[in-house]
Every structure is written in C-alpha cells, then in structure tokens.
Amino acid sequence: MKRLFFYLLLPLLITFNAQGQNEKYTIYKHGGKVYKTNRYVRKTGFLKFKSDNNSYELPYLELDSIVSYEKNKKSKKIEPVVQMFIPISKKQGALMRVVERGKCTLFLWRYALGGGTSTNYYAYREGERTPKLIATRDLISPLNFIKDTSEYFSDCEALVAKIKNKDFKKKETPEMVRFYNTECN
C-alpha cells in the first residue's frame, strides 16, 4: 500500500515542481530602485513579491516596469518582455505588455473574462492622457476596426489608405503601429 501511494504521489510532485514559476523577473520602480524576483502576485492596487528574502508590496503607481525573458515562437531567440502599469481611466489601470515602442506605443492586455481570455490592443502617443483601445482579438467586438483605427491614425494618410484597403487586419495591429512609427512623420 505504501508503494502504491508513493508511485501515485511521485508524478504529482514532479508535475507541481515543473509548473512552478522558474522565470526571473526584474522589477523597476520609479526613481531607479531595482528588485530581482522569481515570482510576483498582482493584487488590487499593488504588486506583491519577494526579493533578497524580504517581502514587498509595491503600489502600481510607483511601478515603472517589469522585465522578463521569453523565447520567441518564430525566431527561437530569447527576447525581453516588458510590462508596465497603464492607467486606462481615472480609476482603472492594468498591467500591460509593451508590444511596440516609438512615437506610438502599442500595449497588449490579456485578461480572463467569463471563462475565456480577452485580448485588447491599446495605442498611446506622447501628449495623450490615456491610451486608446484600437483593436481587440475577440470574436465579438464593440469596435469597428477600420473606422476606429483610421480615425486614430488620421494624421498619416498612407496608413489610413492601407487600413481602408484592408492591407492591415486586426491580427496585424503590431505591424500597423510599426508602419506608423517608421513611415509617418
């Protein structure tokens, strides 16, 4: 009986160990303070983590960015992944992944909603108060992609023409922002 219990318990222990967070995160605070940690927990209003055997609770408004490293599925190279806390409105914000940087910065926000995952793209240009939702990868979307992106990027006629000709689709939002950053004034 003890052997049976051991043989049943062993795969579970191996599985739990394999599912643990083995990633390394570097957390940057406004003002230059840097923390290194293996895991963090998102809480309402703050980020909780351990660094140097001390436990910290860092309010989102003091958080500059979180950097980890991930293998790119296409190129198989290990690339940095940057996340930042982005205020969406006066009372709400979210920890979003930075997809593109430049005149226009593109953020990706994934969250669980009703048993599924929702994926939204937010664009932010210097001088704007909050980022604007420009695309969503959901099947049912409240956005009209062509109308909303054409309106947002109206200062670049070449990009608006490509959007209206359907050269850029929802799933190509990062390429669209990259085009804006390189080709438009």
CB atoms within 10 A of CB 53: 5
Which token pair is 122? 């937010």
pLDDT value for 162: 93
pLDDT tens figures, 44-64? 888 899 888 889 999 888 889
CB atoms within 10 A of CB 95: 18
pLDDT value for 153: 93
- Between 114 and 53, the more confident residue is 53
Residue 167 zone, left/alpha/beta (φ > 0; ψ -120 to 50; rest): alpha
Distance CA 60, CA 27 (A): 11
Bridge partner list, 104: 125
Is residue 19 pLDDT above 50, yes or no? no
pLDDT value for 12: 60
In 3D, which of 139, 161, 140 has the Cα closest to residue 150?
A: 161
Model confidence at 18, in pLDDT bands (50, 70, 90)? very low
Is residue 20 pLDDT above 60, yes or no? no
Task: Please calculate the CA angle 28-18-48 and round it to the nearest 5 degrees.
Answer: 30
